[in-house]
């Protein structure tokens, strides 16, 4: 069985407070974007190993046991031991450490595929509970439609935000950002106006009001990120921002917009959706 896990962008991101459990209270709107990985799961006859994981596309460094796809399998296997041994292959296109939630999307896709393929019987609320154990933004990918998120990102309510009449450009500058480092650069504080209120206004008003708190420290550490954002506006974006804790940026353009040239002389990976 094959799935195509997509990424997300953040429309605004406010870090409001440090919680007693070590997480941060935040507010954002998650919006799905059609840049996709490919995930295949098939039954394995290898009874000596529960999961055989392989990867093509973008290389995935580090310990395989820490991969969210592998973690998702073991998370369900623990509670549902009848799930058989599997071969799992991930073709990675969504860049990592980029603020696009690709790893979270992949891990959540494993939960959904296993549930469907092996008749585990979980409903969407139960899948959300399992996804929350993988990561704060994983529950969003169970729903995979525009959601207003609070708490540590796991409290989700459907958003009426609809960008289907616009084009979205994603730009990844090849900079890997440590989420822990990015959070360490912030001073959490409450905001005067909620992101939900701002996103409900016309997109033309977002430029001065819809803020990602991570931009200030990331732009200071990596000035090229601010250069990219300014270039997106120069090319005609109605709104441009960094996604998540970076380093990817996105621009939202009118549907009639035609990309005039290779972005920044092909220095960066760019997807136009």
One digit per residue, pLDDT tens: the chain, 273 residues? 999 999 999 999 999 998 888 788 999 999 999 999 999 999 998 878 999 999 999 999 888 889 999 999 999 999 999 999 999 999 999 998 899 999 999 999 999 999 999 999 999 999 999 999 999 899 999 999 999 999 989 899 999 999 999 999 999 988 888 888 998 999 989 898 999 999 999 999 999 999 999 999 999 999 999 999 999 999 999 999 999 998 999 999 998 887 655 554 545 555 555
The CATH number that applies at residue 55 is 3.30.230.10
Claim to verify: residue 49 and residue 104 sit in the same structural domain: yes
* Boundary residue ending a domain (105, 131, 158): 158
The C-alpha angle with vertex 78 and arms to 156 and 71, in degrees rounded to 5, equals 60
Claim to verify: residue 18 and residue 130 sit in the same structural domain: yes
Q: Which helix (H) or strand (E) holds 122?
A: none
Backbone angles phi, psi at 90, to 5 degrees: -120, 120
CA–CA separation, 63 vs 86, rounded Å?
19
Q: Which helix (H) or strand (E) holds 30?
A: strand 24-36
pLDDT at position 233 is 95
Which listed residue (37, 92, 112, 137) is catalytic?
Answer: 137
Name the strands in the sheet holding 239-242, side by side, starting at the edge strand that comes first in the sequence: 239-242, 249-254, 166-172, 269-272
Number of domains observed in the structure of the chain: 2
Claim to verify: residue 210 and residue 245 sit in the same structural domain: yes
Claim to verify: residue 135 and residue 202 sit in the same structural domain: no
- Catalytic site includes residue 137: yes
Distances 88 to 52, 114, 125 between C-alpha atoms, Å: 6, 11, 25
pLDDT at position 15 is 95
Claim to verify: residue 15 and residue 143 sit in the same structural domain: yes
Cα 110 to chain centroid distance, Å, stands at 15
Claim to verify: residue 146 and residue 206 sit in the same structural domain: no
CA–CA separation, 206 vs 251, rounded Å?
12
Claim to verify: residue 30 and residue 138 sit in the same structural domain: yes
Give residue 18's domain range: 2-158
* Boundary residue ending a domain (158, 176, 203): 158
* Boundary residue ending a domain (132, 158, 184): 158
Claim to verify: residue 11 and residue 140 sit in the same structural domain: yes
Claim to verify: residue 110 and residue 226 sit in the same structural domain: no
Claim to verify: residue 78 and residue 129 sit in the same structural domain: yes
Which listed residue (8, 92, 93, 112) is catalytic?
Answer: 8
- Catalytic site includes residue 21: no
CA–CA separation, 183 vs 87, rounded Å?
36
């Amino acid at each position: 069985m094959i799935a195509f896990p997509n990424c997300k962008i953040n429309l605004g991101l406010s870090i409001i407070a440090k919680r007693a459990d070590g997480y941060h209270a935040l507010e954002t709107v998650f919006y799905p974007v059609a840049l996709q990985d490919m995930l295949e799961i098939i039954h394995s006859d290898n009874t000596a190993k529960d999961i055989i994981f392989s990867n093509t596309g973008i290389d995935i460094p580090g310990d395989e046991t820490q991969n969210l796809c592998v973690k998702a399998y073991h998370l369900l296997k623990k509670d549902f031991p009848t799930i058989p041994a599997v071969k799992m292959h991930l073709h990675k296109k969504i860049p990592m450490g980029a603020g696009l939630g690709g790893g979270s999307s992949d891990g959540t896709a494993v939960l959904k595929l296993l549930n469907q393929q092996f008749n585990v019987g979980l409903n969407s609320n139960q899948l959300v509970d399992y996804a929350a154990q993988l990561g704060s933004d994983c529950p969003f990918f169970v729903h995979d439609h525009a959601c207003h998120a609070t708490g540590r990102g796991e409290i989700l309510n459907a958003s009426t935000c609809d960008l289907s009449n616009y084009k979205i450009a994603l730009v990844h500058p090849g900079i890997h950002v440590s989420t822990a480092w990015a959070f360490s650069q912030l001073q959490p504080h409450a905001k005067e106006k909620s992101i939900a209120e701002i996103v409900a206004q016309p997109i033309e008003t977002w430029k001065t009001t819809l803020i990602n708190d991570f931009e200030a420290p990331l732009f200071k550490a990596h000035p090229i990120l601010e250069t990219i954002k300014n270039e997106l506006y120069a090319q005609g974006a109605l709104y441009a921002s960094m996604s998540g804790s970076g380093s990817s940026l996105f621009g939202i353009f009118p549907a009639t917009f035609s990309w005039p040239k290779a972005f920044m002389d092909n220095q960066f990976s760019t997807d136009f959706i």
